[in-house]
Amino acid sequence: MRPDFHEIHTFSASGVDVTVWHLPFPANGFGGFRPLIENTFLDEFMEHHRFTGLTYDDVSLITQYADFLPADADLSTALTTGIRLNIPYISAAMDTVTEADMGIAMALAGGIGIVHKNLEPAAQRTEIKRVKYYLNGFLVKARTISPEMTLADVEVMKREKGFRFSSFPVVDNNRKLLGVVTGSQFRYAESEDLTVGEIMITDTVTARPGISMQEAYDILLRHKISILPVIEKDGTFVGLYSFKDLRRIIKGKSGGECVDENYSLRVGAAVGPGDHERIEVLLETPVDVLVVDTAHGHTRGVIDMVKWIKSRWTDQQVIAGNIATGEAALALVEAGVDGVKVGIGPGSICTTRVISGVGVPQFSAVYNVSKALRGTGVPVIADGGIKHSGDVPKALAAGAGTVMMGSVLAGTDEGPGERVLIRGRQYVAYRGMGSLGAMQQRHGSSDRYGQKDVDSPKLVPEGIEGVVPYSGPVGTILHQYGGGLRASMGYNGCRTIADLQKNARLVRVTPSGRREAHPHDIQFVKDSPNYKTGENGD
């Protein structure tokens, strides 16, 4: 047991006795005491179904009094003890779901993407860097001019290149910074024949590499200057911050993007239990969260890996999984995780339950884990099995803080899956990380399924390969999912996700109740933005 945990009570999750530890101080991150979020209605409901594995389709939420409109619902939530998202959606760490484009789109929308690990470590880091630098106001390829150019030369260059800005750093042949020229110098120059060297400001304010965006913005504001050149100790020009760009990013931020303290988009990286070298490579540049991603997270390999990361990079946020029991959750929390991922076999492409007979239907799994973690402040991610926007509030009601989605996002423009045309309709390839294809490739995912050194013909797959319908931009999907969740929070009378975790009430659904829920007794149903023909699963 971690010495900083107090034992508070013992209960039975899925028939296994579990002791809950209460963390008296916040693990890290948000500060403040973490209340024990209890939902006595849910506890009674689940006690009643103690030996039944329930999933999203088996339950339905009950309406409750609301004193607000769905548009006023707050979708922000905790991903880990130290990271908050503005919407509770995460794109799956799969090679047909999350690379840089998906990571950028998810973070711009307020969620986060976890870049998969079926890549060389350096290639995975490149994808992560593309996300981190996407919003960055630091211009590494800033246009420079030389002191010999005349103002007429600069005007011609501006016209030819279509530059709308007038501030330039002036450098010599060795890229040493000599000064800067701005709009005022051009405006008040008496002749176009003057050279840049004659009008440039030489006592310009500069900064050293590594300065944060906020610090750069503060300097630009304090000195009322339009550009801040960044130079090495020996004066070599590295790049610049522009006041206009930084103001757009810092002030113009809609509040919707998921960004770190430097206003860079947040992103995560999947790693395996034996991936020490990969982690060293990845952490040469910041990664918001590492996800120790395996099919069975309640194992020595995963626990040791979490401890190893935490012992070397104390402040690094770490999520581990996948798990389905309270015992597993507590073991991972004891190892030091900042978030746990739940899901043994609920995924659309998973065959784990079929080939091994193991798994817990996802609503029950999320509940078991969330209940065990009450009071620890460690959030739960419900990974896999989301088919409709209405599954998300059910996952949150079971205690999750966020959901991870694969099939819902794989068909979007931002997914890396190959597009295929089948009978005149567009589809996108989507495959399980435990499918033969994903495990067989170089840097494949066989380690996720404990088969790292197994020869290709002997691999035992736990996933399949297929296609999902092409579904347009991620933003459109997340808009529909956000709308569905807001509607649900309105129906539930729960303004925040924490309210939903605490106050949701639900009923058990029978097969006829499920039939009633989907469109029935009507033919040739037209596709709508959040419901397509054939989605009733029959």
Q: Does 434 bind ligand XMP (CB under 6 A)?
A: yes
Catalytic site residue from 278, 448, 486, 495: 448
Considering the complex, what minimum distance in angstroms separates the CB of residue 520 from ligand XMP?
A: 25
Considering the complex, what minimum distance in angstroms separates the CB of residue 433 from ligand XMP?
A: 4
CA-CA distance, 67 to 209, in Å (whole number)? 51
Considering the complex, what minimum distance in angstroms separates the CB of residue 532 from ligand XMP?
A: 16
Q: Does 348 bind ligand XMP (CB under 6 A)?
A: yes
Considering the complex, what minimum distance in angstroms separates the CB of residue 200 from ligand XMP?
A: 55
Among candidate residues 145, 524, 115, the one with its CA nearest the CA of residue 290: 115
Q: Select from 80, 98, 352, 362 the one that contacts ligand XMP (CB under 6 A).
A: 352
Does 419 participate in catalysis according to the annotation?
no
Q: Select from 433, 485, 489, 506 the one that contacts ligand XMP (CB under 6 A).
A: 433
**Residue tagged 């924490």 (tokens):** 498
Q: Does 404 bind ligand XMP (CB under 6 A)?
A: yes
Q: Do 191 and 240 touch, CB atoms closer than 8 A? A: no
Where in 299-338 is the site for ligand XMP (CB under 6 A)? 322
By the 10 Å C-beta count (0-12 exposed, 13-18 middle, 19+ buried), 326 is classed as buried
Considering the complex, what minimum distance in angstroms separates the CB of residue 338 from ligand XMP?
A: 18
Stretch touching ligand XMP by CB under 6 A, among 162-170, 191-199, 256-264, 399-407: 399-407
Q: Does 435 bind ligand XMP (CB under 6 A)?
A: yes
3-state secondary structure (DSSP) of residue 426: strand
Q: Which is nearer to ligand XMP, 194 or 454 (CB)?
A: 454
Q: Which is nearer to ligand XMP, 126 or 356 (CB)?
A: 356
The one-letter amino acid code at 187 reads: R
Q: Do 362 and 55 touch, CB atoms closer than 8 A? A: yes
Alpha-carbon dihedral angle through residues 77, 361, 304, 37, given to the nearest 10 degrees: 40
Q: Select from 57, 101, 462, 499 the one that contacts ligand XMP (CB under 6 A).
A: 462
Does 2 participate in catalysis according to the annotation?
no
Among candidate residues 287, 289, 276, the one with its CA nearest the CA of residue 341: 289
Q: Does 350 bind ligand XMP (CB under 6 A)?
A: yes
Q: Does 406 bind ligand XMP (CB under 6 A)?
A: yes
Where in 183-222 is the site for ligand XMP (CB under 6 A)? none
For the residues of 144-202, what is the DSSP string, one character each? -B-TT-BHHHHHHHHHHHT-----EEEE-TT-BEEEEE-HHHHHH-S-TTSBHHHH-BS
Q: Select from 349, 365, 382, 506 the one that contacts ligand XMP (CB under 6 A).
A: 349
Considering the complex, what minimum distance in angstroms separates the CB of residue 461 from ligand XMP?
A: 7
Q: Which is nearer to ligand XMP, 197 or 343 (CB)?
A: 343
Q: Which is nearer to ligand XMP, 231 or 396 (CB)?
A: 396
CA-CA distance, 404 to 395, in Å (whole number)? 10
Stretch touching ligand XMP by CB under 6 A, among 102-110, 310-318, 427-435, 494-502: 427-435
Q: Select from 137, 336, 343, 377 the one that contacts ligand XMP (CB under 6 A).
A: 343
Cα–Cα distance list, 57 to 35, 88, 346, 522, 536 (Å): 30, 20, 12, 21, 10
- How is residue 411 written in tokens? 């068909």
Q: Does 345 bind ligand XMP (CB under 6 A)?
A: yes
Q: Which is nearer to ligand XMP, 447 or 499 (CB)?
A: 447
Q: Does 467 bind ligand XMP (CB under 6 A)?
A: no
Residues that bind ligand XMP (rule: CB under 6 A) add up to a total of: 25
Among candidate residues 134, 139, 132, 379, the one with its CA nearest the CA of residue 260: 132
Cα–Cα distance list, 403 to 113, 204, 362, 474 (Å): 11, 49, 11, 15
CB atoms within 10 A of CB 6: 11
Considering the complex, what minimum distance in angstroms separates the CB of residue 168 from ligand XMP?
A: 47
Considering the complex, what minimum distance in angstroms separates the CB of residue 167 from ligand XMP?
A: 46
- Binding letters toward ligand XMP, positions 369-388, x by CB under 6 A: --------------xxxx--
Q: Do 88 and 533 touch, CB atoms closer than 8 A? A: no
For the residues of 490-516, what is the DSSP string, one character each? HHHT-SBHHHHHHH--EEE--HHHHHH
Per the DSSP assignment, residues forming a β-bridge with 91 are 113, 405
Considering the complex, what minimum distance in angstroms separates the CB of residue 352 from ligand XMP?
A: 4
What lies within 8 Å, CB to CB, of 494 at 6+ separation is: 64, 73, 500, 502, 503, 504
Catalytic site residue from 34, 258, 278, 350: 350
Cα–Cα distance list, 1 to 6, 28, 43, 320 (Å): 9, 18, 25, 18
Q: Do 75 and 497 touch, CB atoms closer than 8 A? A: yes
- Binding letters toward ligand XMP, positions 73-112, x by CB under 6 A: -------------------x-x------------------
- Which residues are identified as catalytic? 350, 448
Sites of contact with ligand XMP (CB under 6 A): 92, 94, 295, 322, 343, 345, 347-350, 352, 383-386, 404-407, 432-435, 462-463
